[in-house]
């Protein structure tokens, strides 16, 4: 089992930044592909970003490319999402997720069905 706990969300003005953290525990975190998803009110959960176990490859949704950065520290069993240049459209609950695999591709990482473990989410609210 893998337990995921997100933190770092909050209320921020448009143009601001936050760093979201996802602390993990349980089975070997460092071998798993990790991702971030988000869900806005009344909308489906959508892919945001993902990283391979080594961090050598990262994948982003087009809507956040150039503004968000995913990273991981395997020594701390933590994955991060730096979110910059926020807009009200980024308002959502952000979820950290872990696959059961070291495999990663752009298509694979974008599908929520490939993630076996999920955190409880952290709210990000961007005011205009």
- pLDDT digit string (tens) for the chain, length 128 residues: 779 999 999 999 999 999 999 999 876 666 789 999 999 999 999 999 999 988 899 999 999 999 999 999 988 999 999 999 999 999 999 999 999 888 889 999 999 999 999 999 999 999 99
Distance CA 121, CA 64 (A): 18
Distance CA 25, CA 2 (A): 6
pLDDT on residue 28: 67
Q: Is 107 helix (H, G, I), strand (E, B) or coil?
A: helix
CB 20 within 8 A of CB 8: yes
Assigned token pair, 123:
């709210």
Q: Which helix (H) or strand (E) holds 108?
A: helix 106-110
pLDDT on residue 123: 98
Distance CA 112, CA 34 (A): 11
């Amino acid at each position: 089992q893998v337990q995921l706990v997100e933190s770092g969300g909050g209320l921020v003005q448009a143009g601001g930044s936050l760093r979201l953290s996802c602390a993990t525990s349980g089975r070997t975190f460092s071998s798993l592909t990790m991702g971030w998803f988000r869900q806005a009110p009344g909308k489906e959960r959508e892919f945001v970003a993902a990283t391979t176990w080594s961090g050598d490859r990262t994948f982003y949704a087009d809507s956040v490319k150039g503004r968000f950065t995913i990273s991981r520290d395997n020594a701390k069993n933590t994955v991060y999402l730096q979110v910059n240049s926020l807009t009200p459209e980024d308002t959502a609950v952000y979820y950290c997720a872990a696959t059961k695999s070291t495999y990663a591709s752009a298509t694979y990482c974008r599908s929520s069905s490939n993630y076996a473990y999920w955190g409880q989410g952290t709210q990000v609210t961007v005011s205009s």
